[in-house]
């Protein structure tokens, strides 16, 4: 039996999360650049906010799983 192919929404989900993390990073970088006028510091702020955004959204995506996979092993889903 062939497994069903994922929908476009399921395929583009990682791109949406990366785009949202990039928006967080751009906002942080622009705030730092406009307030300090130091572009190196703004680049560091952008990179830090981008990475933090990716990590936080990945953890939230894991915690908010659909629950269908978690019920097969008898667990009740995510703890937090």
pLDDT for 75: 60
Quickly tell me which residue has 């990179």 as its tokens.
Answer: 47
Domain assignment present for residue 42? The answer is yes
Domain assignment present for residue 35? The answer is yes
* Residue 80 reports pLDDT greater than 70: no
Query: What is the total count of domains within the chain?
Result: 1
Domain assignment present for residue 8? The answer is no
Domain assignment present for residue 7? The answer is no
Domain assignment present for residue 31? The answer is yes
For residues 48 and 28, give the distance between their C-alpha atoms in angstroms, rounded to a whole number: 9
pLDDT for 62: 84
pLDDT for 64: 80
Residues in the chain, how many? 80
Domain assignment present for residue 76? The answer is no
User: What is the DSSP code (8-state) at residue 7?
Assistant: P
Name 38's Cβ contacts closer than 8 Å, sequence gap at least 6. Answer: 32
Q: What global pTM score does this model have?
A: 0.73
Domain assignment present for residue 44? The answer is yes
* Residue 58 reports pLDDT greater than 70: yes
For residues 13 and 45, give the distance between their C-alpha atoms in angstroms, rounded to a whole number: 25
Give residue 61's pLDDT band: very low, low, confident or very high (50, 70, 90).
Answer: confident
Domain assignment present for residue 10? The answer is no
Give residue 42's pLDDT band: very low, low, confident or very high (50, 70, 90).
Answer: very high
For residues 71 and 74, give the distance between their C-alpha atoms in angstroms, rounded to a whole number: 5
What is the extent of the structural domain holding 46? Answer: 15-64
């Amino acid at each position: 039996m062939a497994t069903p192919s994922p929908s476009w929404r399921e395929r583009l989900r990682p791109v949406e999360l990366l785009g949202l993390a990039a928006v967080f990073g751009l906002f942080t970088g622009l705030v730092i650049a406009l307030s300090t006028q130091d572009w190196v510091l703004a680049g560091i702020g952008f990179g830090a906010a981008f990475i933090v955004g990716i990590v936080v959204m990945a953890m939230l995506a894991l915690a908010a799983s659909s629950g269908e996979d978690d019920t097969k092993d008898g667990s009740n889903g995510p703890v937090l």
